[in-house]
């Protein structure tokens, strides 16, 4: 819709400018009438839900409203044809309008209107957001003298009186807690309480209950970027970075899980009263997936783990003699589902960071593995739907797999896995490999 509007308005401005130049008239009356009409058409499109109102349309709405106001005033004053015609003025107006059009349409082009992935469950889904403060930890990223805070968001069955399994999600390195919203929606619609964490200063941005905003730490961003470059860190230094990142992430996840469990015992909030403390699963994307595997290793109350495109950092050891990473020799007994894109799949046998992930690792012989052919790292999140432009920029090009097919199939697999492991519904099976095109 954004691209279509852009071309319609752009073509009109060019055509109108050419018409004025050819006829050697300004046609102010016609221009004013068209701009008033454009505003009302925009309003009608919103009221009829052809355009779904959101932040992406605000700048365009303001721009069209201002133009309609100027046109209305000009018509009322009846001074439309008093100004002398000048070709330079017509061209200048055309250029100005084009620049303003591009500016107002940036949010629409970057975040186009899209159809949400299919939700197949019978429950309506409600959401709730909270800020938790960990009084046992001081914030390490900012010298504020305050305790670490974490913003969390829940997706849960609406107006339901039963208890449901708790699923806790951890986002990727520069992600946000809403990164896999379609997954949370699908799970909640089938009777799960899903909590997603914003890891403060690891998250691109997060907003607390009091309105305060925490942006991603520049120090952490530099560490993460440099870790993916050759020659910046030694293997020993990288191993220490991994330990630091994972300690923060796992401490966050443990704190959130413990807080939710405690609140489910004595807090009358409907969200907490829906939680079955005996059925807990964790999952995450990228660095969040690595943290989830780690938490699954540490906690006795976690009964299932989904790792989305991440290395098993908890299962790695640094061999000083070889100056390289190697897999630990300890069995992983928690049910585990691994979901991989091409970006990670091609590194399983070549990058020692993924030494523990290799399919030959007998200590993970009970784990399930799924590979999405044609998928890139961010294909396993909602970003290619929310902003194809940003996804393509961040992951170095467009994925070969269809975005809807990828995320909806991934959501279906995650649901089936948690159904089997936490609810005892059926037995999890998969085709192993999916894509790049729907079968």
Task: Give strand pairing partners of 147.
Answer: 138
Mean pLDDT of 245-273: 96
Domain range for 32: 2-110
Provide CB contacts within 8 A for 423, sequence distance 6+. 165, 191, 279
Asked if residue 283 and residue 350 are part of one domain, the reply reads: yes
Last residue of a domain, one of 64, 82, 110: 110
| Residue 438, pLDDT above cutoff 80 | no
56, 131: one domain: no
Q: In angstroms, rounded to a whole number, what is the distance separating the alpha carbons of residues 106 and 190?
A: 37
Question: Is 30 among the domain residues?
Answer: yes
Q: Cβ(106)–Cβ(389) under 8 Å? A: no
Residues 374-398, mean pLDDT to the nearest whole number: 95
Domain contains 98: yes
Which CATH number do you get for residue 207?
A: 3.40.50.1820
Look at residue 408 and tell me if it is in a domain: yes
Task: Tell me whether residue 296 is in a domain.
Answer: yes
| 80 and 214 part of one domain | no
**Number of domains present in the structure of the chain:** 2
Residue predicted with more confidence, 372 or 20: 372
Measured CA to CA, the distance from residue 124 to residue 119 in angstroms comes to: 10
This model's pTM is above 0.85 = yes
* Residue 282 covered by a domain: yes
Residues 392 and 296 in one domain: yes
Q: Tell me if 116 is assigned to some domain.
A: no
Q: What is the 3-state secondary structure (H, E, C) of the chain?
A: CHHHHHHHHHHHHHHHHHHHHHHCCCCHHHHHHHHHHHHHHHHHHHHCCCCCCCHHHHHHHHHHHHHHHHHHHHHHHCCCCCCCCCHHHHHHHHHHHHHHHHHHHHHHHHCCCCCCCCCCCCCCEEEEEEEEEEEEEECCCCCCCCEEEEEEEEEEECCCCCCEEEEEEECCCCCCCCCCHHHHHHHHHCCCEEEEEECCCCCCEEECCCCCEEECCHHHHHHHHHHCCCCCCCHHHHHHHHHHHHHHHHHHHHHHHHHHHHHHHHCCCHHHHCEEEEEEEEEEECHHHHHHHHHHHHCCCEEEEEEECCCCHHHEEEECCCCEEEECCCCCCCCEEEEECHHHHCCCCCCHHHHHHCCCCHHHCCCEEEEECCCCHHHHCCHHHHCHHHHHHHHCCCCCCCHHHHHHHHHHHHHHHHHHHHHCCCCCCCCCEECCCCC
Can you tell me the distance from the alpha carbon of 19 to that of 157, in angstroms, rounded to the nearest whole number?
A: 58
Are 66 and 183 within one domain?
no
Q: Is residue 118 part of a domain?
A: no
Same domain, 197 and 78: no
206-222: per-residue pLDDT in tens? 998 888 889 999 999 99
The answer, yes or no, to whether residue 85 has pLDDT greater than 70, is no
pLDDT digits (tens, 9 = 90+) for 164-181: 999 999 999 989 999 999
Q: Same domain for 165 and 272?
A: yes
Q: What angle do CA 102, 107, 108 make, to 5 degrees?
A: 80
Given 110, 138, 169, which residue is the final one in a domain?
110
pLDDT tens track for 289-306: 999 999 999 999 999 999
The reply to whether 54 and 168 lie within a common domain is: no
Residues 224, 349: one domain?
yes
Q: What is the pLDDT of residue 93?
A: 78
Whole-number Å distance between alpha carbons of 89 and 77: 21
- Render pLDDT for 122-165 as a digit per residue (tens, 0 to 9): 999 999 999 999 999 999 887 778 899 999 999 999 988 899 99
**What is the average pLDDT across 367-375?**
97
Same domain, 137 and 42: no
pLDDT tens, position by position, 302-349 = 999 999 999 999 999 999 999 999 999 999 999 999 999 999 999 999
Residue where a domain stops, chosen among 56, 77, 110: 110
From the list 226, 242, 239, the residue with the least C-alpha distance to 319 is 239
Averaged pLDDT of the chain: 91
- What is the predicted pLDDT for the residue at 313? 97
Residue position matching structure tokens 């990142």: 245
> What pLDDT is recorded for position 6?
67
Q: Looking at per-residue confidence, does 43 or 86 come out higher? A: 43
Look-up: residue for tokens 């995450």?
A: 284
Which pLDDT tens digit goes with each residue over 20-78?
A: 888 887 777 888 888 888 888 889 988 888 888 888 888 888 988 998 898 888 888 76
For the CA atoms of the chain, what is the radius of gyration? 26
Mean pLDDT confidence for 112-117:
88
**Confidence label for 400 from pLDDT (cuts 50, 70 and 90):** very high
- The predicted-structure confidence for 227-253, as pLDDT tens digits, reads as follows 988 889 999 999 999 999 999 999 999
Residue 83 has pLDDT above 80, yes or no: no
Q: Are residues 345 and 225 in the same domain?
A: yes
Instruction: Tell me, yes or no, whether 71 and 146 share the same domain.
Output: no
Q: Is residue 115 one of the residues assigned to a domain?
A: no
């Amino acid at each position: 819709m954004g691209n279509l509007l852009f071309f319609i308005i752009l073509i009109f401005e060019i055509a109108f400018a050419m018409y004025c130049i050819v006829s050697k008239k300004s046609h102010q009356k016609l221009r004013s009438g068209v701009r008033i009409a454009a505003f009302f058409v925009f309003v009608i499109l919103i009221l009829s839900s052809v355009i779904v109102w959101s932040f992406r349309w605000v700048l365009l709405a303001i721009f069209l409203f201002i133009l309609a106001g100027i046109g209305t005033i000009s018509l009322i004053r009846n001074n439309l044809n008093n100004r002398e015609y000048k070709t330079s003025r017509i061209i200048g107006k055309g250029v100005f309008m084009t620049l303003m059009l591009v500016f107002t349409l940036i949010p629409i082009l970057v975040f186009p209107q899209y159809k949400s992935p299919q939700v197949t469950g019978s429950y309506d889904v409600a959401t709730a957001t909270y800020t938790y403060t960990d009084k046992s930890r001081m914030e390490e990223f900012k010298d504020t003298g305050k305790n670490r805070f974490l913003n969390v968001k829940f997706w849960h069955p609406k107006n339901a009186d039963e208890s449901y399994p708790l699923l806790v999600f951890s986002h990727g390195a520069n992600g946000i807690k809403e990164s896999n919203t379609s997954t949370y929606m699908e799970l909640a619609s089938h009777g799960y309480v899903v909590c997603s964490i914003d890891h403060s200063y690891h998250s691109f941005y997060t907003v607390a209950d009091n309105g305060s905003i925490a942006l991603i730490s520049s120090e952490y961003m530099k560490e993460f970027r440099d870790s993916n470059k050759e020659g910046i860190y030694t293997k020993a230094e990288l191993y220490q970075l991994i330990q630091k990142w994972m300690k923060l992430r796992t401490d966050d996840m443990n704190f959130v899980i413990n807080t939710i469990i405690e609140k489910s015992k004595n807090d009358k909030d409907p969200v907490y009263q829906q939680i079955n403390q005996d059925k807990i699963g964790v999952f995450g994307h990228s660095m969040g997936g690595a943290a989830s595997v780690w938490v699954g290793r540490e906690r006795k109350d976690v009964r299932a783990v989904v790792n989305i495109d991440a290395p098993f950092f908890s299962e790695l050891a640094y061999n000083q003699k070889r100056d390289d990473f190697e897999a630990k020799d300890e069995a992983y007994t928690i049910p585990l589902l691994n979901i991989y894109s091409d970006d990670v799949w091609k590194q399983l046998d070549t990058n020692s960071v993924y030494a523990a992930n290799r399919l030959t690792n007998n200590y993970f012989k009970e784990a399930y593995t799924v590979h999405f052919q044609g998928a890139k790292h961010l294909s396993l999140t909602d970003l290619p739907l929310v902003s194809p432009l940003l996804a393509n920029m961040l992951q170095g090009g467009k994925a070969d797999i269809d975005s809807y097919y990828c995320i909806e199939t991934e959501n279906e697999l995650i649901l089936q896995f948690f159904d089997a492991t936490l609810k005892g519904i059926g037995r999890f099976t998969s085709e192993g490999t999916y894509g790049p095109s729907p079968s």
